[in-house]
Structure 1
Amino acid sequence: MTISQTQPLTAPPAPPARRSLTGISLGYFMVLLDMTVLAVAEPDLATSLHASTAGLQWTTTAYTVTFAALLLAAGAATDRYGAPRLFRAGIVTFTAASLLSTIAPALSALITLRTVMGAAAAVCVPASMAMIARLYPSPPARAKAIATWAATSGAAVAAGPIAGGALVGAAGWRAVFLINVPIGLAVLALTRTATTRTAIARIATEVPIALRTAPAAPPAAAPSVVSPARPAAAAAALPSAPPPTGPAEPPSAVPAEPPSAASLAAPPAGPVAAPSAAASQRVRIDWPAHLAAAAVLAAATDTLIAAGAHQWPHTVVAALLTVTTAVVYATFERRSPAPVLNRRLLREPAIRPALLAAATVNFTLSGILFVLPLLLQRDHHLSALQTGLAFLPLTVPFAANPPLTGRIVARTGPYRPIVAGLTLLTVGAAGSAVALYCGAGYPWLAGALLVTGFGVSSALPALATAVVTAASPSTTGAASGLLNAVRQTGATAGVAVMGAALSAGPAWSLLLAAAAPCTALAVYALPARKRTRSHPTAPDARSSAAEPVQCAAPSA
């Protein structure tokens, strides 16, 4: 017999959740702003710290390598240690590292601090989503909160180059890190009560469930005179309750266990449920495997950067290190009870082409954002602010286009926006290469950047929907996290490869940016069309795409 009627617990009065949501969204904005704001500061940073192109590559990739490698582990850590605690710790670490970056005496110190900032950002993203899930237990309210949170990505990408140009023009490259300090302090002040509110929401959610599943106390026995010294014998002597004679009472409905915060490592493609305490107790993190994965990514990046700088002895050593760390990672992954990559997910035939497409989108975008500021300021002698304004055609579509893409995906499925986005991205990158090679004026380059921006903002939201839809229900969260990690990896490769190709000429570097999405288009288009005809997208999965999705900054 179970208790079928329970009195729901209500949270005591607390500050409005909107204040906490503002702080969480502002923290997400800060993490994404740091990805684009540094792009226009590269020439000034190179002059100040006497950095080579390889050094500038590492100031960007140190952030993205750490972000990509630790994102999945951070989601699991959020389940284990609590979202508010990790979110605030990540914001404190990010703010402190930003403050120290303003006084970095050498490039090596700045790269180290950028690595710390990447780790802190990896903690903040899944923790922020888990906090929103707790603060807004009602699905309609949660959907609106997630839309507000995700919309900050477009604002951060659009504002990054302009803000960076204004800050560098006013106070030099160090100002792009100093701006994070007041933002971080504001986030900590706004989320001060988030810990209490999420704890109250957790109790209010889980205690009634525990009461509904707890067995009722046995019926009281008739009083008898029993010696207190022999309670066990007395209990045995008491008559047992008679067996039930009627039909068994149906068990009360218990809500299914929601997904864990590891599934929140990327912006969601649908409603998000808060993780339960039971789920957090089962979370396992294989830290050696995660660290080995980070070492592989870092060594491979070092190989590409060294090859681009024609440092061949360094390239050979880095390549050997890449192979060694890859073997170590494969050994850990094969034996791990909690592997870094979900093997069941990777066996899905529709997942792999979509992941490749997502990686190439970020490859192209990140490479362009790394290469063009150097060319515009070094060769065309634009100021930092002028360079930031020159990027408006690229960044404005990130804020304007995702809602339109969401409606198209909801109506037709993700295939057409993905193909259209990859096509536009190829045309835009190739157009940028031609404009630079022919010495065309800025209007030609602006048109190519506008096409590129619409390509990125069309492809990424649709790819998020395609990946989550293709995954089985039990791996939806893992698919979301893997998608974001793959995008970060593509961003790292874009900066490393296109930066290395600069020595052959800027036009050749941008042709690589066009070749990547063109290859992904060839791999994705025909097989995906066949799969779409055989298994049309479910309406509920389509409608989830209407929510804003994080549209990449250099490493997003």
Structure 2
Amino acid sequence: MSSPEQTTAIVDAATDPARSPRSLREAWLALAGLSAVFLFEMLDNSILNVALPTIGRELHASTTALQWVTGAYAVVFGGLMLAFGAVADRFGRRRTMLIGLALLGVASLATAFVSTAEQLIAVRAATGVAAAMTTPGSMALAFRLFGADGLRVRAITLISTVGLVGLAIGPTAGGLVLAVAPWQVLLLVNVPVAVLAMIGIRFGIAADAADELHRDPVDVAGAVLGTAAIVLALVAPTLFVDAGTGSWVPWAVTAAAVPAAVLFVLRERSARHPLLDLRLVARPLVSSGLAFKAATGLATAGLGYLVTLQLQLDWGWSPALAAVGMLPQVVVLIAGGSLVSPFVERVGLERAAAISAAAVVGGLAVYSLLGRFGYVWVALALVLVAAGMRVVGVAAGTNVLRGLPKERTTIGAALVDTASEVTSGIGIAVTGTVLAALFTGDLAASHWTARQTAEFQQAATVAGLTLTVVAALLVGWGIIRGRSAPITADDSDSSAGRDDSPGAEADAPRAAQHAG
């Protein structure tokens, strides 16, 4: 229960944009709302996956339809983040967030009236639109809420921890709910989450100040090309897994994604008011942070896919035992939150991002080379990847926002999320393609022959090492890029509240912790 003084402080901070909260406690209402947004993103698909068999039976849905129940959300979410990030930076981050939360509530309520698989897919697509409007804004609003990097790191760590707890308990909670209630309840839970988020953001965060927005016209052509390129890149991996490398469809979609991406870049370089100013992406902090996130997306997607297949199909573990086998990763992801801020304070944001991304790549390398020799190596790989993920999400994301002008923070957060979404899809596509090329027979068969086991182990090694090399190159490039240029006056002037004086980066987190 908050005291009158704390409530007054929150209202003052919300109505006076010039005043930043001096501690996380002072901004508790805003952080509760932002945490609810991230909880929705992490909980949504994980809790729904448990209900897919039930949904298939009750709605008489085909396998393809069930895949699109989750796929429609992911594709729409990933495809629209950049566009809505640009819109939020122009018309208001809080305003865009509140509209997205209202859409989330309405779409979730519509679940109660769904009677066909097609209707549910439409609801999931609308939910994806709401997620694209809200998720990047959660990081951007947390960043602009505080003036010191130390508090920013602690706030983003708190928000991500809430989301990861939701991700961890989602499947278990979903299974318990299904035992006593219809599957629609799993999506209706988004309604109270949306209401909580709206209250926290409406009353805990000030409306955007005019100097924190920009009024350039929206680049509609750039938005269409960018969305098309991302959607095609996200659809292709699913098609490769479902249709196989022998089908022309996934190859055609992949081929279409390349010219769409090229046309997007050409458009953004020539447009007077581009959707995404590529000169900003080229800034050292921004490009290095995105490289670290891309490397992490590749490695984690590939590892997760391979470990799931190995535990259940190669080693014959039951789904329940396989879930227990993933516990080291879950424990580190949740418990590691308390170590993020001290680690960042000790080594600095840039080093923290580089070290944590390298740990993720190292975990994939351990699995690729040694995972076949026993579970202890798989567990070690999971721990390394989880520890790296826990830090890189906060450090690299914060660095991207620090490297951007204050009126471009939402599209920066959208870039971070898009980099993870697209490279995760690529990681799965690469892994699935290698498996299809080297594994003979039915991968989902309950009993493999000795030859198939050897083929899977070879495919896991080839796919894992391929992703390891690419991810390591990204990390190396990110490290070089982060050190490639000294801080210029332009960087200092356009960064949100950044002090580029010698020692300022090391001192800011310590001063912020004192204030907290």
Quote the residue 1:168 is aligned against: 175
Inter-partner Cα distance in structure 1 for 2:310 and 2:115: 26
Quote the residue 2:496 is aligned against: none
Structure 1 residues 349-369: Cα deviation after superposition (integer angstroms, max 9, x where no partner): 565454233112012223444
Give the structure-1-normalised TM-score. Answer: 0.65
Map 1:497-508 to 2 at 5 A: 497-503=430-436, 504=438, 507=457, 508=459
User: Per the alignment, in what secondary structure is the counterpart of residue 89 of structure 1?
Assistant: helix
Query: How far off is 1:455 after superposition?
Result: 2.6
Quote the residue 1:257 is aligned against: none
Work out which of the residue numbers 455, 471, 481 in structure 2 matches 1:520. Answer: 471
The aligned length equals: 458
Contact kept? 2:107, 2:126, Cα under 8 Å: yes
The percentage of counterpart residues that share the same residue type is 21
CA gap 1:297/1:543 in 2 versus in 1, 3 angstroms: farther
| Pair member with larger Rg | 1
CA RMSD of aligned residues (A): 4.7
CA gap 1:394/1:284 in 2 versus in 1, 3 angstroms: farther
Work out which of the residue numbers 181, 198, 217 in structure 2 matches 1:284. Answer: 217
CA gap 1:474/1:513 in 2 versus in 1, 3 angstroms: farther
Map 1:123-272 to 2 at 5 A: 123-128=133-138, 139=147, 147-148=154-155, 150-168=157-175, 171=178, 178-188=185-195, 191-192=198-199, 195=202, 201=206
Inter-partner Cα distance in structure 2 for 1:427 and 1:458: 15
Inter-partner Cα distance in structure 2 for 1:59 and 1:514: 32
Work out which of the residue numbers 114, 128, 137 in structure 2 matches 1:118. Answer: 128
1:68 lines up with 2:78 in the alignment: yes
Query: How far off is 1:293 after superposition?
Result: 1.1
User: Per the alignment, in what secondary structure is the counterpart of residue 341 of structure 1?
Assistant: coil
Gaps of 5+ in 2: 1-10, 16-25, 440-455, 488-499
Work out which of the residue numbers 393, 397, 416 in structure 2 matches 1:464. Answer: 397
Inter-partner Cα distance in structure 1 for 2:183 and 2:319: 12
1:421 lines up with 2:428 in the alignment: no
Contact kept? 2:237, 2:428, Cα under 8 Å: no
Structure 1 residues 404-452: Cα deviation after superposition (integer angstroms, max 9, x where no partner): 34433433335554454344323422444566645x34x4433321122
Contact kept? 1:28, 1:149, Cα under 8 Å: no
Inter-partner Cα distance in structure 1 for 2:287 and 2:401: 12
Work out which of the residue numbers 317, 335, 342 in structure 2 matches 1:400. Answer: 335
Work out which of the residue numbers 283, 288, 300 in structure 2 matches 1:348. Answer: 283
Quote the residue 1:301 is aligned against: 234
Inter-partner Cα distance in structure 2 for 1:334 and 1:29: 36
Work out which of the residue numbers 412, 419, 425 in structure 2 matches 1:486. Answer: 419
Contact kept? 2:82, 2:414, Cα under 8 Å: yes
Q: Aligned partner of 1:453: which letter? A: A
Quote the residue 1:93 is aligned against: 103
Quote the residue 2:385 is aligned against: 452
1:314 lines up with 2:324 in the alignment: no
CA gap 1:152/1:346 in 2 versus in 1, 3 angstroms: closer
CA gap 1:436/1:546 in 2 versus in 1, 3 angstroms: farther
User: Per the alignment, in what secondary structure is the counterpart of residue 217 of structure 2?
Assistant: coil
Structure 1 residues 255-303: Cα deviation after superposition (integer angstroms, max 9, x where no partner): xxxxxxxxxxxxxxxxxxxx31355471532233222211112223334
Query: How far off is 1:126 after superposition?
Result: 4.3
Query: How far off is 1:132 after superposition?
Result: 6.1
Quote the residue 1:364 is aligned against: 299
Contact kept? 1:37, 1:163, Cα under 8 Å: yes
Structure 1 residues 484-543: Cα deviation after superposition (integer angstroms, max 9, x where no partner): 332232223234433444434555357534543443334543883696498598544456
Q: Aligned partner of 2:172: which letter? A: G
Contact kept? 1:405, 1:546, Cα under 8 Å: no
Structure 1 residues 111-164: Cα deviation after superposition (integer angstroms, max 9, x where no partner): 544333222112113444676689x6x858x97698456413223224424331
Contact kept? 1:425, 1:451, Cα under 8 Å: yes
Q: Aligned partner of 2:257: which letter? A: T
CA gap 1:58/1:362 in 2 versus in 1, 3 angstroms: farther
Q: Aligned partner of 1:398: which letter? A: L
Inter-partner Cα distance in structure 1 for 2:473 and 2:352: 15
CA gap 1:56/1:294 in 2 versus in 1, 3 angstroms: farther
CA gap 1:124/1:522 in 2 versus in 1, 3 angstroms: closer
Inter-partner Cα distance in structure 2 for 1:383 and 1:41: 18
User: Per the alignment, in what secondary structure is the counterpart of residue 31 of structure 1?
Assistant: helix
Inter-partner Cα distance in structure 1 for 2:480 and 2:122: 45
CA gap 1:190/1:428 in 2 versus in 1, 3 angstroms: closer
Inter-partner Cα distance in structure 1 for 2:429 and 2:89: 33
Inter-partner Cα distance in structure 2 for 1:299 and 1:193: 35
Q: Aligned partner of 1:340: which letter? A: L
CA gap 1:469/1:429 in 2 versus in 1, 3 angstroms: same
CA gap 1:360/1:18 in 2 versus in 1, 3 angstroms: closer
Structure 1 residues 333-354: Cα deviation after superposition (integer angstroms, max 9, x where no partner): 3443332332212333565454
Quote the residue 2:494 is aligned against: none
User: Per the alignment, in what secondary structure is the counterpart of residue 189 of structure 2?
Assistant: helix
Quote the residue 2:447 is aligned against: none
1:78 lines up with 2:85 in the alignment: no
Inter-partner Cα distance in structure 2 for 1:79 and 1:154: 26
- The worse-fitting range, judged by mean Cα deviation, of 510-519 and 479-488 is 510-519
Structure 1 residues 453-492: Cα deviation after superposition (integer angstroms, max 9, x where no partner): 1232243434335545666888777545433332232223
Quote the residue 1:242 is aligned against: none
CA gap 1:85/1:72 in 2 versus in 1, 3 angstroms: same
Inter-partner Cα distance in structure 2 for 1:496 and 1:547: 45
Inter-partner Cα distance in structure 1 for 2:298 and 2:270: 31
Inter-partner Cα distance in structure 1 for 2:272 and 2:302: 36
Quote the residue 2:346 is aligned against: 411
Map 1:33-52 to 2 at 5 A: 33-37=43-47
Contact kept? 2:79, 2:231, Cα under 8 Å: no
Inter-partner Cα distance in structure 2 for 1:132 and 1:349: 22
- The worse-fitting range, judged by mean Cα deviation, of 368-377 and 29-38 is 368-377
Contact kept? 1:345, 1:475, Cα under 8 Å: no
CA gap 1:338/1:544 in 2 versus in 1, 3 angstroms: farther
Gaps of 5+ in 1: 1-9, 203-274, 549-556
Inter-partner Cα distance in structure 2 for 1:92 and 1:347: 35
Inter-partner Cα distance in structure 2 for 1:445 and 1:148: 32
Contact kept? 1:67, 1:488, Cα under 8 Å: no
Contact kept? 1:290, 1:340, Cα under 8 Å: yes
Query: How far off is 1:373 after superposition?
Result: 4.3
Q: Aligned partner of 2:167: which letter? A: G
CA gap 1:355/1:116 in 2 versus in 1, 3 angstroms: same
User: Per the alignment, in what secondary structure is the counterpart of residue 283 of structure 2?
Assistant: coil
